[in-house]
Structure formats: C-alpha cells, structure tokens
Amino acid sequence: MSYTKRLDGRKFDELREMKAIVGIVPNADGSALFAFGDTIAIAAVYGPKQLHPQHLQDPRRGILRCNYDMLSFSVPERKKPGPTRRSHEISKVTQWALSEIVNLEEFPNTVVDVHISILQANASTRCAGINAAALALAHAGIPMKEIVSSVSIGKIDDRIVVDVNKEEEEYEEGAGSTDIPMAFLARSKKIALFQLDGGIELEQLKDAIEAAEQACKKVYKIQQEALKDIR
C-alpha cells in the first residue's frame, strides 16, 4: 500500500494555486498577502521606529520583531484568541528565517515590527506567513540582501509531496505524514527555515530538501511578480 495519488489530485511536485498581493494594509509601511490555495496569510510591517523601553535597544543595529497569530475563525475548531506556545514558536522561527536577509545596521536602536495574521488555514500557514512577511519587508523599503521563499514538504506514507494541505497533514495510513517546512533564500540558495515533524530516512530527507528548493523557486516567481506589479 502506498500513497500513489494525492488526495486533491495534484502532482507530487505541484503547489496549490498561489496568490500574492502587495500593499493591502494602507496604514502600514509595507504589507502583503500570500496564499497557498485555502491558506491565506497577511503581513504588515511597521518601522524602523524607535524602540521602547530603552534597555531593549541594540546600539549596533535595528531589531526585527515578528508576531505570528491565527484569527480565531481561521481554523475548523475555533482557536481561542491570543498567543499560544505554538504561535510563540512560529513567531520565533519566522524571525530567524528573515533575520539574515534584512540589514538593519543603518538603524541602530530601532525596531522593525512584522505582524502576521492567518485569515484562513489549510496547513503550511507558517510558510505562507514567511512569504507574506518577506514581501511586506521589501515593500516597506527595508534594506534587504534578497528575498526568502518558503514551502512545506511532506512525506505522506512513502511519497514526497510539495505544499502539504490539511488533509495530507492528517494522513494516517501506512507511514502516516511527516511535515517539513523549509525556506530558501532566492539568490544565495541558503536555508533559512528547517523544521521536521514525523519520521523519515536520511536518503528520503535529501530528496525532500531538493524538492523544497525547486518549489521555493516557484514561490519566488510569484513573490517577484507581486512586487513588480506595484503601481
């Protein structure tokens, strides 16, 4: 028994339909929406701005702060409003995924706030969030080396699939599901996010990483188009 056909009919290396729009929150210095199918993330950037209280300031560079959260009605079973351990962790890995590309040395003692909200969740929300955040940071004119693109890879039973949806995430037959969210920098090809949940052999994990790199190129293309579409 094996996962020979994806539950939603996609090819194994096929992402869901992506959507990216820049400039969706007029109040923000930069903002964007990014969607993988039914997973929709929005991100807004405020700053650089002076950081208070003073003891949090870094005199060498500005600080990047990320805050990821899901709206209560973004998931099938209502999520109680407010941060959870999960959202704290995702906020942190998001910040790590973005840290190397932003260059805040010009702005010591300041903060750049990145707020990410998940409007609708169907797995891969952190990846959609990172993609939206990268766009919002660029839109805010923050000095950046390059763009980061993120995608989740899954091992469903024994098959590597790209851009896992909820149904696949919950797959229980055979070897079940392994979730591997990753992010690649578009130019230097470095890995900025790498998490894994489940069970996978080394050789297959190598395939998964390769699949992630290829998929991130497709994500990047959508991000690129969205930023260039600004009028």
Partner 1 sequence: MEISNLTKERIHDYLRAGKRFDGRGLFDYRDIVIETGISKNAEGSARVKIGDTEVVAGVKLGVSEPYPDSPDEGALISGVEHLPLSSPHFESGPPSIHAIEMARIVDRGIRESGFIDFKKLCIKEGEKAWTVFLDIYSINDAGNLMDASALAAVAALKTAHFPEYDKDADKVIFGSLTDKKLPLTESMPITLTYYKVNNAFILDPISLEEESSDMRISIAMSRQGKKVIINACQKSGEVTVAKDELISILEKAMDKWKQIEPKVAKLIDKK
Partner 2 sequence: MSREVVIPGETIIAGEDYLPGDGVRREGNELVASRFGLAEISGRLVRIIPLSGVYIPRRGNIVIGRVIDITFNGWSIDINAPYLAFLPIIECPRFFNRYDLAENADIGDMIVAKVLNIKTRGVDLTLKGRGLGKLEKGMIIAVNSNKVPRVIGKEGSMINLIKEKSKCDIIVGQNGLIWLKGETIEDELFSEKAIKFVTERPFVEGLTEKTKEWLEEKKK
The single residue listed with the structure tokens 């351990």 is: 85
The distance of closest approach from Cβ of residue 29 to partner 2 in the complex, given in angstroms and rounded to an integer, is 5
Contact with partner 1 (CB under 8 A) among 9, 53, 59, 82: 82
142 binds, among partner 1, partner 2, none (CB under 5 to 8 A by kind): partner 2
Rounded-to-10 torsion of CA 203, 207, 212, 215: 180
204 contact, one of partner 2, partner 1, none, CB 5-8 Å limit per kind:
none
**Nearest by Cα to 161 from 10, 28, 29:** 10
- Residue 67 binding result from partner 1, partner 2, none, given CB thresholds of 5 to 8 Å by partner type: partner 1
Q: In whole angstroms, what is the distance from residue 96 CA to residue 87 CA?
A: 14
* Residues whose CB falls within 8 Å of the CB of residue 68, separated by 6 or more in sequence, listed in order: 87, 90, 91, 94, 116, 118, 126, 129
Indicate the DSSP class of residue 102.
B
E-strand stretches of 23-172: 30-36, 39-50, 63-70, 110-120, 148-156, 159-162
Distance between CA atoms of residues 101 and 144, nearest Å: 5
Instruction: Considering the complex, state which of residue 104 and residue 127 has its C-beta at the smaller distance from partner 2.
Output: 104
Q: Which stretch binds partner 1 (CB under 8 A): 1-9, 97-105, 115-123, 218-226?
A: 115-123
Using rule CB under 8 A, residue 141 touches partner 2:
yes
Query: What letter represents residue 154's amino acid?
Result: G
* Interacting positions 151-210 with partner 2 (CB under 8 A): 185-187
Q: Please say which residue, 89 or 225, places its beta carbon nearer to partner 2.
A: 225
> Which one of 15, 142, 156, 161 is in contact with partner 2 (CB under 8 A)?
142
Selected from 13, 14, 58, 146, the binder of partner 2 by CB under 8 A is 146
Q: What is the DSSP string of 124-145?
A: -HHHHHHHHHHHHHHHTT--BS
- Which span sits near partner 1 by CB under 8 A: 13-21, 109-117, 137-145, 200-208? 109-117
Question: Do the beta carbons of residue 127 and residue 104 sit within 8 Å?
Answer: no
Cβ atoms 170, 154 nearer than 8 A:
no
Contact characters 99-138, partner 2, x per CB under 8 A: --x-x--xxxxx---------------------------x
Residue 1 binding partner 2, by CB under 8 A: no
Q: Which residues bind partner 1 (CB under 8 A)?
A: 24-28, 31, 38, 40, 42-44, 46, 49, 67, 71-78, 81-82, 113, 115-117, 119-122
